[in-house]
């Protein structure tokens, strides 16, 4: 199977201008990327008022809303895949996510892949009314419920976090079910990915730490009697980590580790304006041929 390439939407660098979002999106498809990936943060913390806040993003970082942006992208493209990377699932209502994801899949004619994570920002969890301390446990239950909502006409579900009494999502997704990939590197995340997921997004670099994660992942997949050849790994290669020759070398390392997808990550990496971002996408695509 040939490796797939993706373009990470530079949400932190794209202003609130639908024309520029359209230009970048259509350029990604024209250049020949297989998918576009859109990140997720609903709120940013005011760093000045949260004295112990150490997160990488805050209230001054722009994050275009994930599902709305993917829906817009579906409308201005024809074939390119659409990915959330990664949706902070436990801070969102499960049934609403099921509805939104199903609708994006309908609008894109079955092009959605859902990447999910547990997040790192307790300020955001508080604002959205969810329990930061139970986010991992909740995510596991959410995936089970999402799969039911995407495949069954009517769902009756009683969990620790969600209850649905004989109700369902309509319309259902175009796909038989929407693929779910897990982002993150903890043992708990790797176990959830092996048990419930279709793939894994490491978020880091192809060093010794990642090699150990992959070894653990393979072990967890074996315990779940999963076919490793049908399980994907999506690697992010960041613009700010070097020149084209460095990107190519990093891509080769990821291929050796079994990556099935390579995503060019430019958001907040100093790649410049939207036109400069588009030029960088062309250079990356050429570099890793």
Tell me the C-alpha distance between 13 and 63, whole Å: 9
pTM: 0.96
> What are the residues facing 72 on neighbouring strands?
none
Residue 86 tokens, joined = 């990664």
Q: 240, exposed or middle or buried, with CB in 10 Å at 0-12, 13-18, 19+?
A: exposed
Place of tokens 């201008």: 17
Tell me the C-alpha distance between 98 and 102, whole Å: 6
Tell me the C-alpha distance between 108 and 101, whole Å: 11
pLDDT in tens, 143-176: 999 999 999 999 999 999 999 999 999 999 999 9
Q: Cβ of 245: how many Cβ atoms within 10 Å?
A: 9
Q: Cβ of 221: how many Cβ atoms within 10 Å?
A: 21
pLDDT of residue 2: 85
pLDDT band at 228 (very low <50, low <70, confident <90, very high): very high
pLDDT of residue 1: 60
Identify the domain containing residue 30 by its residue range. 4-287
Question: Checking DSSP bridges between strand 4-8 and strand 261-265, what pairing results, if any?
Answer: parallel
Q: What is the dihedral sign for C-alpha 114, 120, 124, 129?
A: positive
Residue 28 tokens, joined = 């990604």
Domain count, the chain: 1
pLDDT in tens, 18-69: 999 999 999 999 999 999 999 999 999 999 999 889 899 999 999 999 999 9
pLDDT at residue 119 is higher than 70:
yes
pLDDT at residue 106 is higher than 80:
yes
Domain CATH for 37: 3.20.20.30
Structural contact between residues 43 and 109, judged by C-beta atoms closer than 8 angstroms: no
Which of 41, 69, 8 lies closest to 281, judged by CA? 8
């Amino acid at each position: 199977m040939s490796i797939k390439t993706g373009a990470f939407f530079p949400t932190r660098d794209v202003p609130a201008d639908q024309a520029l979002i359209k230009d970048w999106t259509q350029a990604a498809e024209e250049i020949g990327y297989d998918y576009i990936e859109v990140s997720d943060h609903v709120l940013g913390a005011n760093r000045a008022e949260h004295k112990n806040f150490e997160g990488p993003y805050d209230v001054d970082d722009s994050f275009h809303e994930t599902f709305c942006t993917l829906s817009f992208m579906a409308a201005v493209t024809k074939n390119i895949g659409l990915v959330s990377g990664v949706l902070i699932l436990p801070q969102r209502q499960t049934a609403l996510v099921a509805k939104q994801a199903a609708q994006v899949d309908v609008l894109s004619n079955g092009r959605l892949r859902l990447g999910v994570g547990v997040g790192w920002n307790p300020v955001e969890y508080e604002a959205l009314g969810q329990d930061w301390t139970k986010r991992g446990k909740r995510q596991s239950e959410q995936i089970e419920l999402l799969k039911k909502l995407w495949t069954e006409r009517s769902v009756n579900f009683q969990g620790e976090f969600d209850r649905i009494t004989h109700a369902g999502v309509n319309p259902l997704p175009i796909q038989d079910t929407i693929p779910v990939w897990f982002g993150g590197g903890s043992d708990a995340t790797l176990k959830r990915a092996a048990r419930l997921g279709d793939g894994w997004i490491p978020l880091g670099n192809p060093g010794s730490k990642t090699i150990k994660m992959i070894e653990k992942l393979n072990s967890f997949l074996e315990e779940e009697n999963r076919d490793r050849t049908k399980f994907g790994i999506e690697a992010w290669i960041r613009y700010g980590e070097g020149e084209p020759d460095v990107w190519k070398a990093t891509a080769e390392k990821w291929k050796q580790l079994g990556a099935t997808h390579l995503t060019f990550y430019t958001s907040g990496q100093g790649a410049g304006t939207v036109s400069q971002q588009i030029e960088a996408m062309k250079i990356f695509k050429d570099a890793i041929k």
